[in-house]
A and B are shown apart, each in its own frame.
Chain A
Amino acid sequence: MIDYKKLLNKTVADIPPSGIRKFFDLAAQMDDVISLGVGEPDFATPWGIREAGIYSLERGRTFYTANAGLLELRQEICRYTERKFGVSYNPENEVLVTVGGSEAIDLMIRSVINPGDEVLIPEPSFVCYKPITELAGGVPVVIETLEKDEFRLTPEQLKNAITSRTKVLILPYPNNPTGAIMRRCDLEAIADVLDGTDILVLSDEIYGELVYSDEPPCTFSAIDGMRERTIVVNGFSKAFAMTGWRLGYALGPKEIILPMTKVHQYGIMSSPTTSQFAAIEAMRSCDADVEAMRREYNYRRRYIVDGFRKMGLSCFEPLGAFYIFPCIKPTNMSSEEFCARLLEEEHVACVPGNAFGKCGDGYIRCSYAYSVDSIEKALKRISKFVEKYTK
């Protein structure tokens, strides 16, 4: 009998299994569940994009592309980034097309981390940064962001976390799960702290277009002096409703993009060709589709925030992504207990805040990538539940 446990890579074996897996499975098996638990758009990919993918198949474009991605797509990504965020990149060597934003995150961390290097990770945040850092031999250093700061990373928190071993700062904004954003002035304050250091920044801007403030969205690389130290990760999943196409990209100085391309070349070869052809259309002619979806999310955002506040739960105003992060502390339950009972008693699925870091306990993540009618139904059930347990 083989003892597989002994054969596994130690770091992989030590990564804890997701504690809430059981809860997810339960939700998936239940009938009549209204879910606010999904981290992807409810819109299907705009038809023009789907049609471009189909057309590429009809023409037989079914081969590998260049490792870094189709040059035509890289050119379009650069034009798009300049148009939307005002930063220019060279399509020849400063763009890498990846399998979703997640691959870009993995490549960046693997390309720069040596054993013992520290990676600063503001939490609550998406679940991949910590395990990827550990797999690369790095040391994750969590910075707990707070509701009173609207879950923004503050310059003081950053200063306190920096050591001589700090290699990378992750900037996960607009944020999943809190919906927090960093305004230009917040980013400038972070830049002031980083100025003069050798710390690299991985700015995960996968929700970068989904911002609902009056200020135009701002990328970290647009802040004075930050372009040279920043890898921007973006992609097609969220803004263009293309999660299943698995396509993202990284932008940054060639000194980092080219080593990342090397790792990508050996692990992946090239990103899916059909998706790349579809993505050219997305970059070129879908601004109006993105804006229409953003507007719709904004209606739902206001609707759901108002709904939670009416229940008496505090909820800071999230200005990005498609999540809200209400505080459920008045019910005296942990996040996991709240979500498990809510699922059991009212058949509503939300995600416990602690799935995104310890400091997320006391909160739940609700996605508003659902129709207003679905949100209305879910809110009614949650309201009944909250009323029962806050009396």
Chain B
Amino acid sequence: MSNITEILNILDKSGEKTDPAKIAQMLGSTEEEVQSIIRGLEKDNIIVGYKTLINWERTDREFVDALIELKITPQRGEGFDKVAEKIYKYPQVKSLYLMSGAYDLAVMIEGRTMKDVALFVAEKLAPMDHILSTATHFVLKKYKNDGLIFYDNEEDTRQVITL
């Protein structure tokens, strides 16, 4: 496996910008090399950003997440990209995927209340050109997100010393 893939694996797991010196130690490389690879990956937008994954359900912040299925007429020469761009520019849209199967775009939306989300769909998405239909599904509980389990604290229950 190349150092680039290894660095991406480590960063993907740690979920934060791990100290390049530490990564270098893990890969048997130098800090300078790791730093320059990371800079290159950031410049090429392969590393798009660093985010903290938060289980907001355990805070008192009020919010609601929804998945909205959209059926769309693709545009000549643009495919789905133009419509997608119009959608992902809204800050309420957390993720947007082009899907195979029964619908075309999957939009993950966050709002403060269900009404917020419903209004966003009714006023912004549904009337947009080329959108044929919408179906809104509210998220009731998140069990796992981006590979991390939200309700599972596996403690180290091993003996302190075993041979």
Contact = CB atoms under 8 A, between A and B. Distances in A.
Interface of A: 24, 27-28, 30, 33, 35, 37-40, 42, 44, 126-127, 176, 295, 299-300, 302-303, 306-307, 349, 351, 355-356, 372, 376
A38 B159 contact: yes
B160 A24 contact: yes
Nearest to B13: A296
B27 A302 contact: yes
B31 to A, nearest CB: 12
B161 A24 contact: yes
A44 B155 CA distance: 10
Given A303-B22, A372-B22, A40 B162 contact: yes
A370 B161 CA distance: 13
B27 to A, nearest CB: 7
Nearest to B27: A302
B39 to A, nearest CB: 21
Contacts of B154: 44
Contacts of A38: 158-162
Nearest to B28: A302
B163 A126 contact: yes
Given A39-B163, A127-B163, A355-B163, A307 B158 contact: no
Contacts of B161: 24, 27-28, 35, 37-38, 349, 351
A255 B26 CA distance: 46
B156 interface: yes
B121 interface: no
B25 interface: yes
Nearest to B23: A299
16 contacts: A24-B160, A27-B160, A35-B161, A37-B161, A37-B162, A38-B159, A39-B163, A40-B158, A126-B163, A176-B163, A299-B26, A302-B26, A302-B28, A303-B22, A351-B163, A356-B163
Interface size class of B (residues with CB under 8 A): 10 to 19
Interface string B140-163: 000000000000001010111111
A114 to B, nearest CB: 28
Contacts of B162: 37-40
A21 to B, nearest CB: 10
B10 interface: yes
B160 A33 contact: yes
Given A44-B154, A299-B10, A306 B25 contact: yes
Given A39-B163, A126-B163, A303 B26 contact: yes
A35 B27 contact: no
Interface string B1-36: 100001001100000000000100111100000000
Nearest to B156: A42
A303 B34 CA distance: 14
A299 B13 CA distance: 13
A302 B10 CA distance: 14
Nearest to A34: B160
A220 to B, nearest CB: 23
Contacts of B22: 303, 372, 376
A230 to B, nearest CB: 25
B157 to A, nearest CB: 10
B160 A349 contact: yes
A376 B1 CA distance: 24
Contacts of B26: 299-300, 302-303, 372
A42 B10 CA distance: 18
A185 to B, nearest CB: 23
B149 to A, nearest CB: 11
Given A24-B161, A40-B162, A302-B28, 7 more contacts: A27-B161, A37-B161, A38-B158, A127-B163, A302-B27, A307-B25, A351-B163
**B6, B22, B26, B27: most-surrounded residue (chain A CB, <10 A):** B26
A351 to B, nearest CB: 6
Nearest to B9: A295
A177 to B, nearest CB: 8
Nearest to A339: B161
Contacts of A295: 1, 9
4 cross-chain pairs, A with B, having the tightest CB-CB distances, nearest first: A37-B161, A299-B26, A39-B162, A27-B160
Interface string B43-73: 0000000000000000000000000000000
